[in-house]
Amino acid sequence: MTEPVLWLSDGSPHSPRFNDRYRSRTGGVAQAFTVFVAGCGLPQRWRSSDEFTVLETGFGLGLNFLTTWAAWEADAQRCERLHFVSVEAYPVAAADILRNAQVPELPGTAEPQLVARLPALALELAQAWQALQGGTQQLQFAGGRVCLTLAFGQVQPMLDGLDCIADAVYLDGFSPALNPEMWSHATLQAIARHCRAGTTLASYSVALGVRESLKQLGFSVCKRPGLPPKRHRLEALFVLT
pLDDT at 121 over 60: yes
Residue 111 near residue 67, CB atoms below 8 Å = no
In eight-state DSSP terms, residue 40 is G
Q: Which residues pair with 87 in a beta bridge?
A: 57, 151
Mean of per-residue pLDDT scores for the chain: 93
pLDDT of residue 164: 96
- The per-residue pLDDT for range 61-92, each reduced to its tens digit, is 999 999 999 999 999 999 999 999 999 999 99
Q: Is 15 helix (H, G, I), strand (E, B) or coil?
A: strand
For the segment 198-223, what is each residue's pLDDT rounded down to a tens digit?
999 999 999 999 999 999 999 999 99
**Confidence at 131, pLDDT banded by 50, 70, 90:** confident
Alpha carbons 130 and 145: distance in angstroms, whole number: 21
Asked whether residue 201 is assigned to any structural domain, the reply reads yes
As a whole-number percent, the residues of the chain with pLDDT over 70 amount to 97
With a cut of 90, say whether residue 23 has pLDDT above it.
Answer: no
Q: Where residue 190 sits, what CATH number does that domain have?
A: 3.40.50.150
Whether 81 is covered by a domain: the verdict is yes
pLDDT attached to residue 105: 62
The residue segments making up the domain with residue 148 are 6-238
Q: What is the number of structural domains in the chain?
A: 1
Q: What band does 110 get if pLDDT is binned at 50, 70 and 90?
A: low
Q: Which residues contact residue 190 at a Cβ distance below 8 angstroms, ignoring those fewer than 6 apart?
A: 155, 156, 159, 160
Task: Establish if 1 belongs to a structural domain.
Answer: no
Question: Across the strands, what pairs with 14?
Answer: 6, 21
The model's pTM is: 0.96
Per-residue burial over 40-59, b = 16 or more CB atoms within 10 Å of its CB, e = otherwise:
bebbeebeeeeebbbbbbbb
Q: Is the dihedral of CA 197, 200, 204, 206 positive or negative?
A: positive
pLDDT band at residue 27 using 50, 70 and 90 as cut-offs: confident
> Residue 106: its pLDDT value, please?
54
